[in-house]
Structure 1
Amino acid sequence: MKRSIERMLWIFTLVTIIGIFYIVPQARPFKNENEFSYYDNLFKTSLQYLKDYYVDSDKTDIKDLYYGAIQGMYKASGDAYTTLLEPKMLQGLMESIQGEFEGIGAYVGVKDSRIVIISPIEGTPAYKAGVRPGDLIMKINDKDTENMKLEEAVSLLRGPADSKVKVSFYRKGVLQPIDIELKRKKIEIPSIRETMLANKIGYIKIINFGEKTTEELEKALDNLSGQGMKKLIIDLRYNPGGALNAVVDMADLFLDKGLVVYTVGKDSSETKKFFSSDNTSINTKVPMAVLINGGSASASEILAGALKDRKRAVVVGEKSYGKGTVQNVFKILDKDEMLGLKITIAKYYTPGGYVIDKNGIEPDIKVDMPKMEPEEELASIKILEGKYIEKFVDKNKKKIPDADFKALKKELASKNLIVKDLFLKKLIRSEQSYLEGPQIIDLEYDTQLQKAIEVLK
């Protein structure tokens, strides 16, 4: 099935959240020009005093002062996503649009003045090291992240493949900081993975919402329908979002004509409604379940919210991240360099009028994933650092033989490194997936997927 997809530029703040570019011819005039002139003069006067009296003024760069002033002004707005993108940051962001970059492989955001992991990307260094959604990054290469801008953190986490970066995490329930040295690699981000489960239940994992994702999703639906699919699970966990038009097009595959999402901006010109048509790819009577968790953000929350509000699917899992704002990146030229002004211009609302931002989407059926005890968290980190799992997988690339597994447990116990079998096998399967390619599902460990299957039965 083919359909034209309206193309839209979208951004991915390296490892993170997505916004939308619009062409804006010029800034709007200030409503109170007198007030603007007053504070403009105040700024210029302050700058002149700094130039005339600061002891090291001859060592300061006027460009750095102005960039700092802009950044300070945007920070004073109180919005974590409104910021100045200096040339290097803007370039890195644009490179990420291509769907690949070099770094640790995690989507990040801002929470409580700290950089927070939204979700690790499967098969990447961060995923392999056990980084989890909700982990707060306290330091990057010994640099404190308190009040650090998102783009600066992204710049520090990125780097050439095979280079290393030290990251210190805080994880809820673990008293000690978690210090991990990660080796960066080239990160390639796929959009769709699918498989057929027992009882003709189709399973599709949507990893992000890119320009080609709708087309890939249509092909996946056609493939599963061709295999006799009777029910469907859409997995949006660890999906950080993507292009707005992409998610509206995807919702169109599952929903009859109606509202998908609307945005409310500063004034009526930024209040827009987005609708699905009648171009569904599967029968609307096919039972559906949607999986979400704390790593589901932005566009993935839009899709989950639309399917939930319009009673098209049962939502299973944990509350989503709660990133429901729209950013524009306005490009301006500074001599021969391009700057970006990333500004939040609107908020998303579900068809039922629910505000996604800072609230997240609540599942219809709450199911937690298995959770380690704090001592198991620390033990698992030491197990990974000691390369016990790597050695096991060198010998067992695809299976977990009982005899070898028992020998591994005995060796770890002798080092006082004890975790439950469920978690130890998960570490092994993650390493196998890292080497052999990401697993589509891990049904033994995945309690949320188990519940979704149960609901559809």
Structure 2
Amino acid sequence: MGASRRGEGDYRQARRRRGAPLRRDRGPHGRADTFGRLPPRAGRRRVRGDHFRGTLRAFRYLIPRNGRDLSAFSAPAPRARLPGLPAARPFRESQGLRPLPFADGPDDNGGTPRAGGIRPVRRVEARRGRTRSARGNPDHAPLPPERNPFRMKRRLLRLALVLFAVFLAVSARLPAETSAAARNDLDKRSVFIGIVQDSLGTIAATYRGDGETSLAALFRAAYEGLSKWAAKDESRAEFLKPLLDPPPSGPTDFLKRASELPDSPDFPWLAAADAAVDAAVRSLGDPFSHYFTLTEFRRLMGMLSKGMKDYYGLIPSRALDGSLYIAHIKFGSPAYYAALRTHDVITAVNGRKVEDIPRDELAKMFAPDAPAPLSLAVTRKDWPEPVVYRLEPMERRIPMVLSRMLPDGVGYVRATIFGKGMAGRVREALDDLSRRGAWRFILDLRNNPGGGANEALELCDTFLQGRKIVTIFKMFRGLMDTASPLLTRGDESPYEDVPLVCLVNHSSASASEMSSGALQDHHRATVIGTQTFGKGCAQVPFGVPASRGRRFLYLTISKYFLPSGRTIHKKGVTPDIVVKDIDPASDTWQFAVLENWSGTRRFVKRELARFPGSVREVVEDKRPVTALRSWRRFLARARKAFEGLDEHVLEVAARTALVSAWCSATRSMPPCDPADAVMKAAMERLRFECGDLSR
């Protein structure tokens, strides 16, 4: 009580020195509040508690609602104030808001209050950055932050809480790989019902594509997918017979029957849920919406980010009919140099049929923990039978931006993916080429799967003058029907008027099409190549709560249009100059068989060992393949092994195998091929626009 009286005395003396009246009244919190400066000792401890509780309340909403929150660490409710002690400031006052005794007119400190009886106070007053030595100072001057240990401790506490909250959020959203114990924990009837119910409800509420999204249609598709999955095994069909026979009348009947099934620990409930939800997603008819496991989702996010290792450089995806096809091939990867193509159908992996491999195991084959050779049986349209490709793992990371100085002032920049920071790296590459004498440029977006729309916006801002529309997002279902245009910032750039050519092909998708289409619509660049992929929609991942962070939905939520108003969805960007970027012979079945023939591998191995200089000249297109020493012996063996051999197909297959082996042996990745027909067309276009290539 003595300390309280001394506090009250200091408080009254401070008020008198400032000439302010001594005032007490009931505040908005239903208790006696002091208006003015609080006693420095009496109110300090409660302010600390208020700051701590407020910080926990704020950080608790950063944690996902999956059972991990900070409710167990929350401070207890404030106790009632003892008689005779001054009231502690409430939480909202400690954050810089002070209750006023009245809502109209000036307050007791001469300030003008705001509406609602709340007036912001100075940061110095709110943080209470004073020590005991400040009592004698009539102005209560705070100490500098570097000399105030209490202030530093409070900042360190807040920083520790922020780091702890971020760690819990990340670990909860992307948990560790599914262990055996966790898998057994997920193989329950309640998990099956929860995954199906949560997934189909999320699709019906958030999907913005052209497919049917009523719950009745989704449950009907899930029932059909579950029936096909159960028909592959007699024990599964017998166990699910009460659920599948007769067909459920609707969603309610489906869930009711599922809840009546026996909760057997030996039944693969998680695999059953995957079959049902995957069939429902495929029923939408959208090739860009998917149902991912944790391994598949991590691999997708890794391909769209920087610094992620990818041993083979291809992304498999499920078609609407359930077959496995290659959705994307990364530039400079083993799959790229093996002459694989997008939309190639994979029938077997490491000698096992795709239909016989579980979903999780198949995903681990394409993203193994340790690098190992991968064998793929691939078929293509009009091929009589599959061809086996053997991919050697590549452990180095593929950079997002590659650059090269070409003769006569031509700078070449290739963007492999629109990852985080890609636009800034393109700008750095342009600056470096400009210092080396480049004054016209080739922007290569071939085999670029896209990425973030913000990176496409930053890239276009480098070449477009003023504020220009890059794309227009439209939500074409649901409540949000308004268009949202994305415009460049309009910052000045030294590359707004330089001659520019943009290269695209059939594997340029999403943000690549957005960038090339915007440059084409604003007549800023000449687009050369082949028709692009035709992905004019945006997807967003959604976690399935019942799966505990191990299943994800990747759903279409909007479409985007080019500045001219045309859509590229399922159409793509048509180049100004159409040039095929690959030799037509490399699409034939004969070429694939020749390239993967054991005789071709022996020929390439012998040439690399004996004449590496000659192989390098072939790779750099300084001499033809027919100039190699052992070419005649190889040609004789190939003619003996294959009847009706085409000389051009043989030459293209040998050169492709040489380039692939050379890049794997030397761990090099040339950014452009001088023998490329599209590159030659780009040089011709620059010559046409600017005259002679010499400045």
TM-score, length basis structure 2: 0.55
1:293-331 deviations in Å (ceiling 9; x for gaps): 111111111111111111111111111111222111122
How far off is 1:235 after superposition?
0.6
1:325 matched to 2:537: yes
Mapped partners of 1:340, 1:195: distance in 2: 40
Mapped partners of 1:404, 1:67: distance in 2: 53
Q: Which residue of structure 2 lines up, in the alignment, with residue 42 of structure 1?
A: 253
Mapped partners of 1:102, 1:292: distance in 2: 23
Mapped partners of 2:547, 2:568: distance in 1: 39
How far off is 1:241 after superposition?
0.9
- Structure with higher Rg: it is 2
1:393 matched to 2:608: yes
Q: Which residue of structure 2 lines up, in the alignment, with residue 449 of structure 1?
A: 679
Say if 1:323 and 1:91 are closer, same or farther in 2 by CA, change over 3 A.
Answer: same
Say if 1:67 and 1:413 are closer, same or farther in 2 by CA, change over 3 A.
Answer: closer
1:383–1:389 CA contact under 8 A, matched in 2: no
1:205 matched to 2:414: yes
Q: Which residue of structure 1 lines up, in the alignment, with residue 313 of structure 2?
A: 105
Look up the SS of the partner of 2:458 in the other structure.
helix
1:256-278 deviations in Å (ceiling 9; x for gaps): 22110122223464742211132
Say if 1:150 and 1:105 are closer, same or farther in 2 by CA, change over 3 A.
Answer: farther
Q: Which residue of structure 1 lines up, in the alignment, with residue 583 of structure 2?
A: 370
Say if 1:161 and 1:57 are closer, same or farther in 2 by CA, change over 3 A.
Answer: closer
Q: Which residue of structure 1 lines up, in the alignment, with residue 629 of structure 2?
A: 407
1:105–1:121 CA contact under 8 A, matched in 2: yes
How far off is 1:237 after superposition?
0.7
- Spell out the pairing of 1:258-337 with structure 2 (5 A cutoff): 258-265=468-475, 266-267=477-478, 269=480, 271-334=483-546, 336-337=548-549
How far off is 1:200 after superposition?
0.9
Look up the SS of the partner of 1:327 in the other structure.
strand
2:331–2:416 CA contact under 8 A, matched in 1: no
What code does the residue aligned with 1:104 have? Answer: Y
Mapped partners of 1:384, 1:307: distance in 2: 46
Q: 290-299 vs 83-92, which deviates more?
A: 83-92
How far off is 1:138 after superposition?
3.0
1:141–1:167 CA contact under 8 A, matched in 2: yes
Mapped partners of 2:265, 2:316: distance in 1: 38
What code does the residue aligned with 1:42 have? Answer: D
1:97-146 deviations in Å (ceiling 9; x for gaps): 45423442124455664443355334432233222334332333455558
Q: Which residue of structure 2 lines up, in the alignment, with residue 176 of structure 1?
A: 385
Q: 71-80 vs 432-441, which deviates more?
A: 71-80
1:79 matched to 2:249: no
1:236–1:291 CA contact under 8 A, matched in 2: yes
Say if 1:94 and 1:196 are closer, same or farther in 2 by CA, change over 3 A.
Answer: closer
Look up the SS of the partner of 1:80 in the other structure.
coil
1:134–1:294 CA contact under 8 A, matched in 2: no
Mapped partners of 1:152, 1:65: distance in 2: 16
Mapped partners of 2:599, 2:489: distance in 1: 49
Q: Which residue of structure 1 lines up, in the alignment, with residue 158 of structure 2?
A: none
Say if 1:294 and 1:108 are closer, same or farther in 2 by CA, change over 3 A.
Answer: farther
Say if 1:407 and 1:29 are closer, same or farther in 2 by CA, change over 3 A.
Answer: closer
What code does the residue aligned with 1:431 have? Answer: A
How far off is 1:389 after superposition?
1.4
Mapped partners of 2:491, 2:504: distance in 1: 25
Say if 1:125 and 1:276 are closer, same or farther in 2 by CA, change over 3 A.
Answer: same
Q: Which residue of structure 2 lines up, in the alignment, with residue 434 of structure 1?
A: 664
1:424 matched to 2:654: yes
Query: Among 328, 340, 344, which residue is 1:135 paired with?
Result: 344
1:128–1:434 CA contact under 8 A, matched in 2: no
What code does the residue aligned with 2:459 have? Answer: M
1:89 matched to 2:311: no
Say if 1:82 and 1:235 are closer, same or farther in 2 by CA, change over 3 A.
Answer: same
Identity %: 23
2:291–2:553 CA contact under 8 A, matched in 1: yes
Mapped partners of 1:94, 1:351: distance in 2: 28
Look up the SS of the partner of 1:330 in the other structure.
strand
2:283–2:320 CA contact under 8 A, matched in 1: no
Look up the SS of the partner of 1:416 in the other structure.
helix
Say if 1:323 and 1:156 are closer, same or farther in 2 by CA, change over 3 A.
Answer: farther
1:107–1:240 CA contact under 8 A, matched in 2: no
Q: Which ranges in structure 2 are unaligned for 5 or more consecutive residues?
A: 1-169, 171-200, 207-212, 220-248, 618-622, 640-646, 688-695
Q: 393-402 vs 434-443, which deviates more?
A: 393-402
How far off is 1:244 after superposition?
1.2
Q: Which ranges in structure 1 are unaligned for 5 or more consecutive residues?
A: 1-8, 10-25
Q: Which residue of structure 2 lines up, in the alignment, with residue 15 of structure 1?
A: none
Between Structure 1 and Structure 2, the one with more helix by share is: 2
How far off is 1:30 after superposition?
6.5
1:100–1:187 CA contact under 8 A, matched in 2: no
2:446–2:508 CA contact under 8 A, matched in 1: yes
Q: Which residue of structure 1 lines up, in the alignment, with residue 373 of structure 2?
A: 164
What code does the residue aligned with 1:80 have? Answer: P
Q: 410-419 vs 214-223, which deviates more?
A: 410-419
Mapped partners of 2:385, 2:273: distance in 1: 40
How far off is 1:242 after superposition?
1.1
Q: Which residue of structure 2 lines up, in the alignment, with residue 193 of structure 1?
A: 402
How far off is 1:385 after superposition?
6.0
Mapped partners of 1:455, 1:27: distance in 2: 49
Q: Which residue of structure 2 lines up, in the alignment, with residue 341 of structure 1?
A: 553
Mapped partners of 1:410, 1:149: distance in 2: 47
Look up the SS of the partner of 2:596 in the other structure.
helix
Say if 1:201 and 1:212 are closer, same or farther in 2 by CA, change over 3 A.
Answer: same
Mapped partners of 1:406, 1:34: distance in 2: 65
Say if 1:84 and 1:337 are closer, same or farther in 2 by CA, change over 3 A.
Answer: same
Aligned residues: 428
Say if 1:151 and 1:328 are closer, same or farther in 2 by CA, change over 3 A.
Answer: farther
1:191–1:213 CA contact under 8 A, matched in 2: yes
Mapped partners of 1:122, 1:30: distance in 2: 37
Say if 1:98 and 1:219 are closer, same or farther in 2 by CA, change over 3 A.
Answer: closer
Mapped partners of 1:122, 1:269: distance in 2: 37
What code does the residue aligned with 1:333 have? Answer: P
Mapped partners of 1:132, 1:168: distance in 2: 13
What code does the residue aligned with 1:331 have? Answer: G
1:239 matched to 2:448: yes
Q: Which residue of structure 2 lines up, in the alignment, with residue 381 of structure 1?
A: 596
How far off is 1:345 after superposition?
0.8
What code does the residue aligned with 1:47 have? Answer: A
1:261–1:306 CA contact under 8 A, matched in 2: yes
2:472–2:561 CA contact under 8 A, matched in 1: yes
Mapped partners of 2:576, 2:255: distance in 1: 55
Mapped partners of 1:251, 1:428: distance in 2: 37
Say if 1:74 and 1:386 are closer, same or farther in 2 by CA, change over 3 A.
Answer: same
Q: 57-66 vs 167-176, which deviates more?
A: 57-66
How far off is 1:34 after superposition?
11
